[in-house]
Amino acid sequence: MKKALFAVLILFVLFISACAQTQPLTENKVQEETEVKTEAVPAKVSINFDGVLPTHIKLGDSLVLTWKVNSDITFNTEHTAVHYGYDRVADEGLTDKSYTYLSSPYSNTIPRTFESTIKPLKAGPLRLRAHVNVNGVDYWTEEKTVNVD
């Protein structure tokens, strides 16, 4: 009986010492899993219409819009599109809701050139800006005007 009790005691001690030795490894593993990887964010972003926009188009004609988003590193954008409408919008306080209409939006890597076709719905001065959102920051072109006759 004493031998059996002694054997159980030895096994218990060995079990406790094995657990004590593996615990720091478990803590290190948990620490490694909880480390957050940070993605590099572009330091420089610019957006411009690519090529020359026409000054006039006829009502019913399509307008092909091409814009280029540049950045110092490759990065995934949350949104880029051309926003447009018939009212002038000031540079200050622009939001993604500042214009009535929106071209087909993209979510893609930059730098890249994007293209979208729109068809103005009425005659008048069509105001438009290309827009990109990079890491929660909005970038806009200057407002351009295409007269729809």
pTM: predicted TM-score of the whole model, two decimal places = 0.73
| Whether residue 3 sits in one domain with residue 65 | no
Same domain membership, residue 76 and residue 22: no
Per-position b or e across 39-56, b if 16+ CB within 10 A of its CB: eeebeebebebeeebeee
Residue 5, SS3?
A: helix
User: What's the CATH number where 71 sits?
Assistant: 2.70.50.50
Question: Is 58 found in the same domain as 127?
Answer: yes
**For each of the chain's 149 residues, which pLDDT tens digit applies?**
556 545 554 555 555 555 555 444 445 444 454 454 456 889 999 999 999 999 999 999 999 999 999 999 999 998 999 999 999 999 998 999 999 999 999 999 999 999 999 999 999 999 999 999 999 999 999 999 999 99
28 and 52 both lie in a single domain: no
Are 83 and 112 found together in one domain?
A: yes
